[in-house]
Every structure is written in structure tokens, then in C-alpha cells.
């Protein structure tokens, strides 16, 4: 059985985020640290646990993005993935979930993966769309917000328990191949050992240019972003209870909240 885990690289901290006033788009100064999306760490850990429980299972890690994204793929191999794939999409700007999903689906379509896993969302955009779009493009079943799963490769089935609204859970059965988006809390992601990190440096990543997969026509664009306006500071009213009451009435009157 073969599992493909889709991971994303995100900024380690948004404190360094800058906005280009000319374009209205985000930019990160030199030296900004990036890391694997934490939601995807749960998906990778779940795939590695399946590998440990089902002999003969191989785990592949894939990421879409510019040159720096290869570090996230390397970390995935350091955690235990057998193979790393980097789809080189050089844009540092906004790339829509549909574009990312189309590239992943184009790559996976002929690879014969039994299960595809993603984190439930990305920390930066929080779109919660990529996994579902991959499933739609590949025309395979999908279960989102999975908190527990049982894979029966001999039957070609997956039983998944997923979280739904109101704190309830739903159990579904899917035919393989299928896409699962993994909910945080399903496991505790491992920290890669030093020996595995060193070994992963010797692995050769499979690198594919996005244009070789047929980059889809962009259907959505980011018009710009901005920092939220600072909330107004509160006012501390001092004095005796009578003075505080008069001052409060005056404030409400000046704001036209009372006549």
C-alpha cells in the first residue's frame, strides 16, 4: 500500500510579515524562518503509524512551492517518509487552493496511491479546501476532519470517524483510493531523531516543475491584504461613584448613545 501525504511550508512566525504598499501583497524579509504546517504534521504522523502497523506500506511526502519548500520535504523524510516530492511552483505570492490541488492531482493521477492525506487546513490561509479539491479532481471519495481511521487494504476500504458540527462524530466507509484530511489531536507528531535527519540529507527528492504538470488557468486572485486597524483604547473613569457616573453619562452623550 502507498500513502501520499501533502504538506505545506508556512512562516514560523507572522511577526516578520510585511505588506508591500505598492502591491498590497505580503512579503517576508531575508532571514524569515519557515517550517512545516502543523496541521500537516498530524497527517504525516498518522501515515507513519499506518506504515508501522501495515507491513509493506510506503509513505510519500509532497509539497508545492518555491525552492525553500524542499526543506519541508526533507523534514518529512527525516520523520520517516520513504520518498519526497517537490513540485516547484516558483511564486512567492498567493497561490489558490485550486491551483495547488490541480498540481497535486495531476501528479498523483497516474501514481496509483491508495490513500492521500492532508492536514485539515493550512495555518496561513485557513482555506480548508485543498484536500477536498484533490478528491474532486481525482474523482475519489473524501472524508474531512478525520479523528480516527481503520484501513482494510485486503477489502480496499477505509472506515473513518470524523468530527462534525456540535461536537458530534460521524463514521463513514470509503472505497480506496480515497482522500483523508486529518484533524489535530488524532495523534502526537514525532520529533525526528538526529540519525534520521542526517540520513534524510542523503535522500534525493523527486523534483517536478509545475509547468510540466500543466499549470491550470488561475480562477481566483488575491486583491490585496492589510493589517487590521488597531482597536481604540479604553477610557478609565476616575473619581467618586457620582463623578464616575457623570463622566460616563457625558461619554455616552458625546458618542450619541443616549440623548
Three-class secondary structure of residue 240 per DSSP: coil
Low-confidence residues in the chain, pLDDT < 70: 23-24, 259
Q: Give residue 110's pLDDT.
A: 92
What is the pLDDT of the chain when averaged over all its residues?
Answer: 90
CATH 3.50.50.60 describes domain 2-213: no
> Any idea where the domains of the chain sit in the sequence?
2-213
Which residue in this structure is represented by grid cell 493550512?
122
Q: Give residue 198's pLDDT.
A: 85
- Contact of 57 with 51, CB cutoff 8 Å: yes
Q: Give residue 147's pLDDT.
A: 96
As given in the structure block, the three cell numbers for residue 215 are 499549470
Task: Give pLDDT tens digits for 174-205.
Answer: 999 999 999 999 999 998 888 888 888 888 89
First-to-final CA distance of the chain: 73
DSSP 75: H
Helical residues (DSSP H) of 17-69, grouped into ranges: 38-53
Cα four-point dihedral sign 68, 32, 122, 151: positive
Amino acid at each position: 500500500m502507498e500513502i501520499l501525504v501533502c504538506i505545506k511550508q508556512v512562516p514560523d512566525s507572522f511577526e516578520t510579515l510585511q505588506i508591500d504598499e505598492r502591491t498590497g501583497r505580503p512579503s517576508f524579509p531575508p532571514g524569515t524562518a519557515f517550517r512545516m504546517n502543523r496541521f500537516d504534521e498530524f497527517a504525516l504522523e498518522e501515515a507513519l503509524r499506518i506504515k508501522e502497523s501495515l507491513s509493506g506500506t510506503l509513505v510519500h511526502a509532497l509539497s508545492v512551492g518555491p525552492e525553500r519548500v524542499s526543506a519541508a520535504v526533507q523534514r518529512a523524510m527525516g520523520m520517516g517518509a520513504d520518498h519526497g516530492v517537490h513540485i516547484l511552483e516558483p511564486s512567492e505570492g498567493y497561490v489558490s487552493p485550486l491551483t495547488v490541488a490541480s498540481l497535486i492531482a495531476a501528479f498523483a493521477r497516474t501514481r496509483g496511491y491508495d490513500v492521500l492525506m492532508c492536514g485539515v487546513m493550512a495555518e496561513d490561509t485557513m482555506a480548508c479546501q485543498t484536500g477536498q479539491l484533490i478528491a474532486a479532481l481525482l474523482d475519489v471519495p473524501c472524508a474531512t476532519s478525520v479523528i480516527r481511521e481503520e484501513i482494510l487494504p485486503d477489502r480496499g476500504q477505509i472506515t473513518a470517524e470524523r468530527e462534525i458540527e456540535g461536537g458530534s462524530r460521524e463514521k463513514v466507509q470509503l472505497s480506496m483510493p480515497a482522500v483523508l484530511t486529518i484533524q489535530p489531536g488524532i495523534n502526537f507528531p514525532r520529533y525526528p531523531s538526529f540519525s534520521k535527519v542526517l540520513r534524510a540529507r542523503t535522500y534525493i527528492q523527486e523534483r517536478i516543475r509545475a509547468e510540466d504538470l500543466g499549470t491550470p488557468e488561475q480562477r481566483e486572485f488575491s486583491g490585496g491584504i492589510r493589517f487590521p486597524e488597531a482597536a481604540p483604547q479604553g477610557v478609565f473613569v476616575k473619581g467618586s461613584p457620582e463623578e464616575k457616573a457623570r463622566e460616563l453619562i457625558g461619554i455616552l452623550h458625546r458618542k450619541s448613545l443616549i440623548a
